[in-house]
Each structure stands twice: as C-alpha cells, then as structure tokens.
Structure 1
C-alpha cells in the first residue's frame, strides 16, 4: 500500500515541544486537509455551480494548531481533555473501518427492530471498546441498544452515542457520521448523570462526519472547534519530525442568525401541519437553496461550514418524532447553540437543551440552526 500511495504535500502544524503521535503512523491513504480559498458567489455574471451554490470563505493557513495545543489552551478540565481524545481516536478507527467494510445486512436487528448493517455493528463495537477501556468513563449508552451500561466504576462521565447515523444513505456512499454526547455523573437524578439531566448539562459533545475527509466538531470552553483527521497517509508532520493524526482546521465557528439554506425533514408532516406547509412555501417563494441529504449529520453539520442553515423536523400524529433526545438532538443542540445558533423542541418553542431526559430512548421534534430561522419556525409551525 505504501508503494502505491503518491506523495502528499507537507502541512505545517503548530505543536507543543515533544508532542508525540497517539496513533500508529502507518495508515491507509487519507485525503489531504485543504482549506480552499473560494468565495461565495450568488447571481451576477457567474456561470455554472458558482452562480447558484454557497462556497466556503475559509482561507488556507500557513500552519495549523495541533489537537494538544488547542485542548491545552481551550479545555481547562484535564479529564474532559482525556475523554475528547479517546472519542477522537474512536472516530479515527471508524474512519478506517468505513474505508474497507462493505455495506451489507448483518442478519440481526437492534432494539427497535431495524436491520443492522455491517458498518453499524463495526462502528458500535469501536465505540464500546473506547468507553470500556477508558479510565474516565463510568457509563456508556448506544443508540443501537439504548440502555445505560457500566464501564469503569471510578470513571466520571456518561458517554452516549449514535455510532453511525445515516443507515438509509450509507449504502449510497453518501456522508454519514457519529454523534456523541458526554455528561458528568454530577448532574441528573441518577447515578449515570444523564437521566434527569438536560442537554445543557453536557460537559461537551462531538459530531464526526465521514465524507471525502473526516472532520469532527468539538465543544470547548469558548466555542466550537473543528478537527481534521489525517492530512497525509502518515498523519500531519510536526516541526520535530513526528506525526499528528488530528489538526485544528477551524476555530470558534459561528452560525449566522439568517440563512438562505434550508433542510426540511419529515415533509410528510406538511400534510397535517398547515404551518409546516406554509413554511416550505416561504422557503421556496423566497428562493432559499435546498440542501438536504436525509442524513442528520451532514444536514446539520453544513451549518458550521456554511455558517448558516436551518434543519426542520416537526411531528404530527401520523408522522411521530424519531430523533433521539440524548443521542442526536442534545449533542447537536449543544454545539449549534455554542456557535450562536438556536434550537426549538418543536412543541413549546423552547430550547431542546432544556428538555429533561427521562428515558434513554426519549424522542423529540427538532428545529435547529440560524437563530432568526428558528424563530420563523416557531412562528409559522408552533404559533409562538
């Protein structure tokens, strides 16, 4: 494999002295981390995709901070730093597994009766291995089997995850992801710190997206940061000649209050919820750009890359809530609100982060994204 891999450009990484890689250098070929210096072009004399699409405004940097540098500076709690690193390692392992695993039915089903795919099972096992081997994780819970299970009696955190969100699109080779919420035993009404708590009680959350590149959003003390995995086959080379698997590709990401992008889930509810149909008509009449894949991770993650967006998933009697509060809505809600966005629980119009978690498998409606667009949802759909 090494002989077949073409040379990748060196990417300078700012790292603390003596930093050492935490993972083996010999990895499968990884796409280089590039921050393209494109501009957002709308209308005018532009032709092709550039005339209708939203392009990144992120400019290429001469060097990027290492994971250790950023965590040391922006995460005061050493145990939170530890659990973040462990979960990033798990995301790296899932990345490698997705490169080689076929998408086939496993022959078993999860708690909800859904057929499990081979990649779901692999990703879930990687997550369980990570929490069971951790010195700081006391409990773990997977969306595949929503039961809180003990890990380390001396641990402090409860880690909840959806190991591979996007089972309906992963066979298309579309982007999928992992959602991770982390609570401390100090919150909530039970021993695990999650039941009886809210999403606002999370100590941090991580959202990984596996596309052409693997990138992970992480909530730190002063905002949301993005880390990119593997800029060369051996990792990212540090000034001392060693390699680092993760670099910080973006810092303190912000979601603007207004958006021209919309992602409408559960559109069936528009047949029963007049306000939702009215909201869809508003987006179309005002020429919003539709960006929707059917995967929660890519459809909400784009709000951090485009710095705008709105994801809507209301419910009705015939289209009940499917999103899990602890596994999906809470992790994304924490990150979106840290980035200046807003959330709605789809019922009261209040933040989804204020909904108490009373069951591991609790479901919720959700609207999440640019603040003014969430207000519009509350007005059109909920009459709030």
Structure 2
C-alpha cells in the first residue's frame, strides 16, 4: 500500500494517512472475523445518547490508537467520541464512524468503517467539499477498502500539498473561500449554500445535486481487496457511477408514511421494475452502487421520522467518494458536500448515487 500511494503522486502526509487507514482496516477486519469481541451491548452510551456495543467501543479505541501513531494526523474524532482529540502528528484531522451498521451484526450482515480526512484542524466551520480525501471499508465475505483521493498532477493534489506545507510551517490549512461558513450560518455563494444567494443562482435540479467544481475531474476512486496475508491489492481503479440506473436502496422507509412524495417515489421505482438492494447498513448499500456502477441510496425524512445520519461522520465522506466517482448527492437544497458543518452532531437527509435518480428524488428530499 505504501508503494501504491507513493506512485499515485500523493502529497507525503496524505499518503501516510491513507496508508494508516489501510493498516487499521486490516486490523479491524481481523477483530471482527476472530469473534474476540462481543457484539452485545456494552452497557454504556456515546455522547449522542446511542447505546454502544462492545465491538463499537473496541474498534473505536483501536482506530484512535493507530491514528495517534501516524505522524501526519494531528487530531481525530469519532461517532463514539465526537469531541476532537489532539494527536501528536501534524497535517490532517481524521473523523470516522468506527463501525457503521453495528446494529445488524447479529444477523451477520456486512458492516463498515467510514473515514473523512480533512487538511489541518477541525472540520467544523467548513463544508464536506474541503476534505482532502475520504474512505470506507466493507467487512463482508471479503474485506474491501475504497477511497477517493486527488489525481496526480491535478489542482486538488496541488491544493492538498500546499495545505500540508502551511500546516507544517505552523499555520492553519485555510479552507477555500467557497466553503467558509458565513456569519448567517450559510455556506458562501460560491459554495452553493442555501439561502437567498443560492435561490438567485437558480433552482434547476442539477444545481441542487452537484457543484460546478466536479470532484470527478480532479479526484479518483480506487478499490482494494484484503489478501489472506493481510496485504492489500488493487482490485479496481478509477471507479465510476453511471447517471442512469434501475437499482434503488430506500432507507428510512418509515418516513414514507408521512412523506407522500417519498411514498410516491418508491411506488414509481417499483412500477418501473427497479431492483431493490437494501440491507440496513449504509456502507454496504452505498458500496453496492460502486460495485454495480450505478444505483441510488435515498434517505429522506418526515415529521415523524427525522434525519438520523450524521453529516461529518457518515454523509460527507460517503458523498465525497460518490461524487468523485461521477455520482451526485443532495440534501434536497444542495449537494451534501456544500452543507456547512456547524457541529459534530449535525444530522442530514441524504440521497446519493446515479445523478438521474438523485434528481428524481428531489421532491421527496424537499418534502420535510
């Protein structure tokens, strides 16, 4: 993996972080397969009041320990411990969901880990498009690691390298002007945030699902497979998501009871003979889109079924990967990557995947 990241032309610090991520994913895979940690409740709760499983706590602790050993990681936060912890390194802050879908482990379903990698310090006050890279792991019959990273020689690679230099010199990695959160709490106009400026730019469907600065042009999505000896091999390079599909994953389906637009959308897709692929785990359901090259994961909300997914730990990293593969994402108002992060507890609606299906979801996403 070190050789691959080096040959990919990544800045040294980002290469180090991604190598660390790959290493700890291998360790987490071993923990899950060995059955050495119970999947029962630990008796504790995290900062958000969620009941914790013993395996959540164990995996969370392991990832923090490994990130602390990486010289390019200066801070980390997780869904289990959302307050940012300073770490000895310098360069990046990593936010992660240690075990997404842990509640379905009892059924032996696939689960995952999600990573958002931010230049410099805290992601609070920035939007998801300012991530340097993002990654997720799927622990199923095979262990798969997928990440989105800057293409060699791209403007994104140059910006990440410049941010590394600023941080190493003792300065902060300043976010670009498009992603600053303004005093009124909105993303600035260039970031396609919500509010009057966004409305003035037009409300066509495409503008509510993506940004003119396409991640696909400057980033690449790669998939790796974990070998039996603990090493990684590149399985597929430069993954892409087609704009059309007939595969759907309807999450938070209880919202359809009060969200008539969502109920109608699901009926429309069923009547069009779409294929249903939904496990109840966000990581495997989103990975299915990349595995098949198309599809949609749709998670609207309603007055009785509010948004539950956390913006910084789940929605922003996975949207970064999908948009880097040429897909779209939306909150109903704009791309998930243009939603400003105000706190680590921010929740968000989300639809992501093939652009045509994401656009079709807009009435349901905007209904609540």
Q: Same fold (TM over 0.5)?
A: yes
1:93-108 mapped onto 2 (5 Å cutoff): 93-100=27-34, 101-108=37-44
Q: Which residue matches 1:203?
A: 132
> Residues of 2 paired with 1:114 and 1:196: CA distance?
25
Q: Which residue matches 1:134?
A: 70
1:150 is the counterpart of 2:86:
yes
Q: Secondary structure of 2:82's match?
A: strand
> Residues of 2 paired with 1:312 and 1:363: CA distance?
15
Q: Which residue matches 2:247?
A: 261
1:73 is the counterpart of 2:7:
yes
> Residues of 2 paired with 1:269 and 1:302: CA distance?
23
Q: What is the aligned length?
A: 297
Q: Shift of the alpha carbon at 1:69?
A: 4.2
> Residues of 2 paired with 1:171 and 1:108: CA distance?
18
Q: Does structure 2 retain, via aligned residues, the 8 Å contact 1:165–1:178?
A: yes
Q: Which residue matches 1:118?
A: 54
Q: Which residue matches 2:346?
A: 362
Q: Which residue matches 2:221?
A: 224
> Residues of 2 paired with 1:172 and 1:380: CA distance?
30
1:250 is the counterpart of 2:236:
yes
Q: Does structure 1 retain, via aligned residues, the 8 Å contact 2:5–2:19?
A: no
Q: Shift of the alpha carbon at 1:96?
A: 0.5
Deviations 1:265-288, CA, capped at 9 Å, x for gaps: 111111211110110011110010
Q: What stretches of structure 1 move > 3 A for 4+ residues in a row? A: none
Q: Which residue matches 2:123?
A: 194
> Residues of 1 paired with 2:326 and 2:107: CA distance?
33
Q: 1:381 to 1:177 in 2, by over 3 A?
A: closer
Deviations 1:131-176, CA, capped at 9 Å, x for gaps: 2222111110010121111112x51111000000012201111100
> Residues of 2 paired with 1:263 and 1:82: CA distance?
34
Q: Which residue matches 1:44?
A: none
Q: Secondary structure of 1:147's match?
A: coil
Deviations 1:320-367, CA, capped at 9 Å, x for gaps: 111111000011000000000000013x1x100001111011110000
> Residues of 1 paired with 2:9 and 2:335: CA distance?
25
Q: TM-score, normalised by structure 2?
A: 0.78
Higher helix proportion: 2
Q: Which residue matches 1:287?
A: 273
